[in-house]
A and B are shown apart, each in its own frame.
Chain A
Amino acid sequence: MSDTVIKVEGVSKKYCRSLRHTMLYGMADLTRSFVGIGQRGERLRDGEFWALDNVSFELKRGECLGLIGLNGSGKSTLLKLLNGIFMPDRGRIEINGRMGALIEVGAGFHPMLTGRENIYVNGAILGMTKKEIDKKFDEIVDFAGIGEFIDSPVKHYSSGMYVRLGFSVAVHCEPDILLVDEVLSVGDMDFQYKCFKKIDEFKRNGKSLALVSHDIMIINKLCGKVIFLDQGTVKYDSNTGDAIDQYLADTTEKEVKRVSKKFGHINEIDKKKSKKIFFSNVRLCDSEGKETNVFNVGQPIIVKATLDADIKVDTPVFGGIIYSEDGIYLGGFNSLSAADSIMRSLEGSYEIEYHIGGLFLSGVYHLSLVIHDATGKIIYDVHDKSFSFVIKGNAMSLPYTGYVRVPCEWKYKKLSVNEVKYGFAD
């Protein structure tokens, strides 16, 4: 028995664009299999396209593979093929081990049945015997944190509880290979932490994982190698850091396009609404003053904006908020932060500049800008998450993880024997 648990060779999968074609080709394919004629998987029929094209990779025991790519790049399709829900139209997939999937948690839950009943149904769907479920029952309930709700119908569950229970059943069926599709993003922090711990335990036991996520942090944290899918083809297959960089570079391109589109849009609205005070031109620049949306880790970000005021305002405040790609509020700043440059009054046109230190680690970030009065009650102009920038840098090679660089000093000393025994002598 080899160490390879998943071997994907030249796999392609086609989809139909329209329901009508789905029906037509479905009937044709079914009739073919009725009479035993081979499938014509090689050619594209009218209205079909390759959702995955010629994908190959291998996964060994104990490895964790991350699948990244933009929406519609074929990540979920690939997971479904690995799970054997869909068959490839070309190529082959070899699986060696019991497969567990967290593609959609809680599938097969019946809203009218209680949590307890649904655990048994869901467990059976995932291939567990009654004995196995009996043995793990308490553990499943405990992990899900459902408590006394276990005997209530699941339709009365909150969506978080629903997902937690589904996830809990799935991770307790002890697969050799676990496929995870974007489900880690649900649940509260406490539950996410439990999930990470479980996945970690999983890896330590020599099990393998394939993980789909948009969250670069999660991929970075869990995966040893990453495949970057772009429109159904493998664009990059390498160690995590390189693939993430490539992914970010790619995202930047699209993000920049999106942002520039949005800019025009906002300006149009501004004119219509005829605001009294407004940002007329916002640019992100690097330390040399060159306009860009892409920064290297550690590089300062300079936000420049032109500002027009048709009325006179006392002590205006210009503020900004930075969000992570998934919308987490990372921090805010405003013009009150520097006491010596507080603007006493505003009238006419100005050019303002913020210097943001090189705090952020690799990822996509969004910036909001706002102008309000000293009390914060009157808002003159606001652009919510309208400006995006990307921080580039090999995430794996940095001594920091997360969104921001945490300033940290570090020291150590070797303990003498006595100190080890009795603790610090002082």
Chain B
Amino acid sequence: MVEGAEGLSVGYKITYTSRGPVVEDAGGLFLTMRLMWRELLSARELIWRLFLRDFFARYRQSAIGIAWAVLMPIITVGMFVGMNSAGILSIGDVGIPYPLYALIGLTVWNVFTVGATASSGALVNAGAMVVKINFPKISLVFAAMGQSIVETIIRMALIALVFVYYGIAPSWGGLVIGLICIVPMYLLTTGVGFILSLATGVLRDIPNILNVALIMAMMLTPVVYPIRGDSLLARVNVWNPFNYLVNVPRDFIVRGQTESLGGFAVMAILSLVVFYAGWRVFYLAQAKIAERI
């Protein structure tokens, strides 16, 4: 804390009006953007603390504790590997063993499922805190997204074991590019998460609607099956951002190349726009939302 000449802390001059908080002595280009950035920087510590709190609190007072975080993905992986060796799944040739194909797809898709679900409840679940303390509320959404990141990392580690199990090695270049290509999915999820958390603040129907919508979106998107030939589904998926955000990372990891780079680029930019727009709307609306919770 910087002490001013008169002993007052500098940088805490602020004015609250009906339009929200106004920071004095600040102006110029991209003001909102700079303030958003400043808020994020100041909230780093809090995001980390909230994330740790939620992560550890979830596994307290359970017999196997944190092992749950690994156990659930193991069950999913085991199910697919088991079903495949029993010959139940007959999706056709996807270039690699089907369990790997499905698991990678599911893992990337899960970024959205877990992230959107967690962040939609982030603001409301913290209700008491939101109406009693003034703190940067973006940290709630970012902390919720941390949950999605942890799950992805655990799942990716398990997928590596499945690669070993089948005796296949992905190309290192493809793997790195593939992992980087998951980033737009995160951006999109966070952007959507911001909006969902606000919307849940006024309408408690959102989490229920979201559950149904997520199942429908997963059916529609080629997550656990490939699209072949020309069908209604194929034509719809040309416009489905998730199609690119799931399949391009998987293509890179599995084959080291992809045919949909153009579409992916467009969707990546769209994700960035959604991320920024969601964040900005959240930033501007957070002062108004507290009293509605």
Contacts and interface: CB of A to CB of B under 8 A. Distances in A.
Interface in A2-46: 5, 15, 22-23, 26-27, 29-30, 33-34, 38-39, 41
Interface stretch (A105-113, A308-316, A318-326, A364-372): A105-113
Given A26-B292, A87-B19, A97-B9, 16 more contacts: A30-B199, A30-B285, A34-B285, A84-B287, A85-B133, A91-B17, A92-B15, A92-B16, A94-B14, A95-B13, A107-B133, A113-B60, A124-B45, A125-B135, A126-B135, A174-B1
B287 A87 contact: yes
A112 B202 contact: no
A202 interface: no
A124 B46 CA distance: 5
Interface stretch (B88-96, B124-132, B157-165, B264-272): B124-132
B30 interface: no
Nearest to A33: B285
Given A107-B129, A120-B49, A127 B18 contact: no
B129 A108 contact: yes
A29 B19 CA distance: 11
B284 interface: yes
A30 B15 contact: no
Contacts of A30: 198-199, 202, 285, 288-289
A350 interface: no
B39 to A, nearest CB: 12
A358 B26 CA distance: 60
Range of interface residues on chain A? 35 or more
Contact of A85 (B53, B56, B134): B134
A87 B133 contact: no
A101 B16 CA distance: 16
Contacts of A95: 12-16
A80 interface: yes
Contacts of A294: none
Interface residues of B, number: 53
A176 B8 contact: yes
Contacts of A15: 291
Contact of B57 (A88, A113, A125): A113
B50 interface: yes
B57 to A, nearest CB: 5
A61 interface: yes
A97 B291 contact: no
Contact of A41 (B7, B18, B42, B281): B18
11 contacts: A23-B202, A30-B199, A33-B281, A39-B19, A80-B131, A87-B18, A92-B16, A95-B14, A96-B12, A101-B132, A124-B50
B128 A88 contact: no
Contacts of A96: 8, 12-13
A120 B45 CA distance: 10
B49 A34 contact: no
Given A33-B288, A96-B8, A125-B129, A84 B21 contact: yes
A33 to B, nearest CB: 5
B106 to A, nearest CB: 30
A173 B134 CA distance: 14
B132 A103 contact: yes
A130 B128 CA distance: 24
Contacts of B212: none
A246 interface: no
A99 interface: yes
Contacts of A29: 288, 292
A142 interface: no
A102 B1 CA distance: 20
B290 A85 contact: yes
B16 A84 contact: yes
Nearest to A93: B16
A99 B288 contact: no
A27 B12 CA distance: 31
B78 interface: no
Nearest to A41: B18
Nearest to A1: B6
Given A87-B21, A88-B17, A97 B12 contact: yes
Nearest to B205: A23
Contacts of B133: 83, 85, 101, 103-104, 107-108, 125-126
Interface string A326-367: 000000000000000000000000000000000000000000
Interface in B257-280: none
Contacts of B290: 85-86
